[in-house]
Amino acid sequence: MTLEEARQVAWSANQPHSKLFIEWAEIRQEPDGSYSVVVEPVEGEQQIFTEAEKAHWALVEWLAKASRANDRYFTLNDDGSPREIDFETWKNEWRNRENAQTRITCSSELEATISFMGHAWSIVHMDEDVELWSAGFCITAKNEHYGGVPFRTFEGAKAFVDSYIAQGCPASGFPFMKFLAEFKKDNPGL
């Protein structure tokens, strides 16, 4: 592998989110002038990669394994509070989550959906502050979906949708991204 490829692999492996599955990675120059990357995984034996593509696929595989082991799953209690559950229970309750969506008509052409996702990615949510709700929008005539903005609570997602409607439902793309940035700036706790 080239030095630039080795740098990219080592950089990816040494990112903070990779610490769930990689202890460290370093570049090594081989006698023939090529480069390799030595990777020390959290679990398993040290590995040496001489091909960038194989190294990237190994990182993806380690990420998936660490994610399966560390992701958190939730369901809603009867009172609406989240309760942590195992993956199998979460997977089996998918139909119930689909039925628990809240749909809000924003205009004759636009519908909002607030959904309880109940899945906290370990890479994103390494602490207790998980975002289990999602607010998204659909232009019904085109079946065009956008949004999918995560929130900690249903109330936070609902406030987002209400603010979106109050702003006149900015179009998808740049107008929506501008609205989202302003909303996050004005509501840092949601």
* Closest C-alpha among 143, 145, 120 to residue 131: 120
Tell me the average pLDDT of the chain. 88
> What tens digit of pLDDT does each residue of 114-131 get?
999 888 877 655 566 788
On the question of pLDDT at 70 being above 80, the answer is no
181 DSSP β-pair partners: none
In terms of pLDDT, which residue wins out, 46 or 95? 46
On the question of pLDDT at 29 being above 90, the answer is yes
> What tens digit of pLDDT does each residue of 129-188 get?
788 899 999 998 898 899 889 998 999 999 999 999 999 998 888 999 999 999 999 998
Residue 124: what pLDDT? 59
Residue 123: what pLDDT? 61
This model's pTM is above 0.85: no
Task: Give me 49's structure tokens.
Answer: 């990669």
On the question of pLDDT at 69 being above 80, the answer is no
